[in-house]
Structure 1
Amino acid sequence: METRWLEAFIAVAEELHFGRAAARLRLAQSPLSQTIRRLEKELGTKLFDRSTRSVALTPAGHAFLPYARRVFEELELGRQAARATDGVVYGAVSIGFSGALNHLMLPPLTRAVHQRFPDVTLSLNGGVMTHDGVERLERGGLDIAFVGLPIDPSPVRTRLIGREPLGAALPVDHPLAGEAAIDLADLADDGFITTPVAAGSALERLAMQACVAAGFRPRVVQEITDPYMILTLVSTGVGVALMPSEVAGIMPSAAVFVPLRGEPTYMEHGLAWLEENPSPVVHAVLDVAEEVLPTPPT
């Protein structure tokens, strides 16, 4: 079995169209069809159901696809390892983050990686809540994720990179918007905007804990995944929100950030990755992160 046979199979499996797969591989369609037939003969089973109008994977094709992809992933890891012995770091690293919550931490990391390793490509995936980020790390869909700590028990490893107290994001015309600090209990009658419970957001969990500790359960009027949109909705007067203090510098013009009095509730930010990920480039990026995003003193 030749690797080009696997490459042809993956292309057809992803395109489900021989013409598009041939164009992707820069081949004529006839040689591509012959290659697929050779592979099927080698395996002793059909990988595709073909008709004049459609192409679909057979159950055998579905079963074979992840193993074919793994061959190319292992080859890429081998290339990375070989070049790493010459001091060359190259490859791709996918990073998950949540915009408003990571706007101070992501740029220093990406700039440092680009300067240190110009041959490394960073794939940045926004809107990734903590639970989603951990799941995608476990499945191999991400290499590194910014998460809220602590996370549930998992093979994913984490490191603390930031610690910010929660405060209140209020519309500019809110009665308490001009105060230097407020008690969280003062917002007991307000409607709250939060990230969805189902998203597994560390921010949502902490906000609920803080409100309960202040003696009330918040009345949620809107749930939205994007923290930037939470701030936008606050500015329109839809409700109030609890957010880490780092967002104070990016508040919309019609909203304000007001610190909370009393015992602070901290949001702890972390980096997460799968320790067993063998990619040298991922561990090179993590080494850079340890320099530019050190663990703060407790």
Structure 2
Amino acid sequence: MEIKWLEDFVALAEVSSFSRAAESRNVTQSAFSRRIRQLEAWLGATLIIRATVPAKLTAAGHNFLPVAQETIRTFHGIRETLRPSAEPRLVRIAALHTLTLTFFPEWLGRLEEAVGPLGTSFIPDRGGFDSNIEAMVVDEADLFLTYSHPQVPLRLDDAGFEYLIIGRDRLVPVAARQVRIAGALHAGAGILDRAVASELELPCLSYGSASFFGVALGHLLARRPPFARRTVHENTISAGLKTVAMTGSGLCWLPESLVAEELADGRLVAASASEDWLLDLEIRLYRHCANQAKPVERMWRAAAQIQSGISSS
């Protein structure tokens, strides 16, 4: 038996809908249904009446629900109790790679100035927003640090998760000082504006259509004047795209925080003079509301305190 089966069952009991419960647990409906059946098989009892809409609990389901809820609370409580007191609990953070390089170090420093040392640990990148949210649901991560944009939907149960807006950034179109196009060198400064005004075909470095930045940029490009372009390189990691862009391989949108030094010293240049090609981003910190671990609470309160001070200044 797995603790996530119990959490699935409790989520289903709360909303009486397989689809809504699966969405709140950030898994597909088929995977969610399979896990409920696995729980029923392990118990040897049917918990859900599936022939009705909304779904209803059987008598066994009603009897088992408080047991499941108490088991979940007991499991998480015991785990905290058993952690060695000599080894302080590290707050486990899932994060987009770029933010670990640019935003996180300075932000953590401000938190520690306010509340003292905070033990933190980045978990291995699970790839994709949904996978990182799942890491919180199954208690492999305590917090998730990510970019957010209104046109990239985040499928989250508002009752199950909360977030703080702890910073802002933006994607900016950049290029090397000289860009290679069809064997000739072109000035990188303003190259996007020139492509819009002419038939110049731009080589572009892409995040791919499925990544967060890829989806966000897709919406931006759909609203802006068209220009001829072709993808010459793809990478979901911004730092990797930056390295390729600096060789003169093509146009690329990158987080401004990641390229601030390169723009300042001229290794990269603005590909457009218009702010219409910029994409504003929020930096958000998410957590699962069920996570009540003391180190997580302490860090969350510190983040809220810092953000409140920024908002009021």
Q: TM-score range by the shorter chain?
A: 0.5 to 0.7
Aligned residues: 220
Shift in Å, 1:212: 1.7
Q: Please tell me the residue identity of whatever aligns with 1:100.
A: T
Q: Which residue of 1 aligns with 2:203?
A: 191
Q: Are positions 1:248 and 2:253 aligned together?
A: no
Deviations 1:220-259 (A, max 9, x none): 3322122111100111233221123222324398841415
Equivalents in 2 of 1:296, 1:241: separation in Å? 32
What is the identity, as a one-letter code, of the residue corresponding to 2:285?
L
Moved more, 230-239 or 158-167: 158-167
Query: How far apart, in 2, do the equivalents of 1:148 and 1:72 lie?
Result: 32
| In 2, Cα distance between equivalents of 1:91 and 1:148 | 26
Aligned-pair distance for 1:184?
Answer: 8.1
CA contact (8 A) 1:183 1:261 kept: no
| Deviations 1:171-214, CA, capped at 9 Å, x for gaps | 2213343349957846972222222334x42x222222222212
Residue 165 of structure 1, aligned match among 161, 170, 181: 170
Distance 1:99 1:129, change over 3 A: same
- Give the conservation status (yes or no) of the 8 Å contact 2:171–2:281: yes
Closer, same or farther in 2 for the Cα pair 1:214/1:296, shift >3 Å? farther
Q: Which stretches in structure 2 are left out of the alignment for 5+ residues?
A: 1-70, 180-185
1:209 aligns with 2:219: yes
1:261 counterpart residue number: 274
Percent sequence identity is: 13
Deviations 1:131-181 (A, max 9, x none): 432232233221111112144221332222223333112122133433499
RMSD over aligned CA atoms reads: 3.8
Shift of 1:102: 4.8
Displacement of 1:114 in angstroms is 5.2
User: Residue 93 of structure 2 contacts residue 142 of structure 2 at CA under 8 Å; is this kept in 1?
Assistant: yes
Matched letter for residue 281 of structure 2: M
State the shift of 1:107 in Å: 0.9
Task: Name the TM-score, length of structure 2 as normaliser.
Answer: 0.57
Aligned ranges 1:260-279 → 2 under 5 Å: 260-263=273-276, 264-279=278-293
Structure 2 residue 288 is matched with structure 1 residue 286: no
Alpha carbons of structure 1 residues 229 and 235: separation in structure 2 relative to 1, 3 Å: same
Pairing 1:221–2:235 present: no
Amino acid aligned to 2:129: T
Structure 1 pair 281/212, CA: closer, same or farther in 2 (3 Å)? same
The question of whether the paired residues in 2 share the 8 Å contact of 1:168 and 1:260 is answered with no
Q: State the Cα distance separating 1:74 from its structure 2 match.
A: 2.8
Would the alpha carbon gap of residues 131 and 105 (structure 1) be closer, same or farther in structure 2, given more than 3 Å must change? same
1:281/1:183 Cα in 2 relative to 1: closer, same or farther (>3 Å)? farther
Letter in 1 for 2:274: R
CA contact (8 A) 1:193 1:234 kept: yes
The equivalent of 2:94 in structure 1 is: 96
Q: CA deviation at 1:126?
A: 6.4
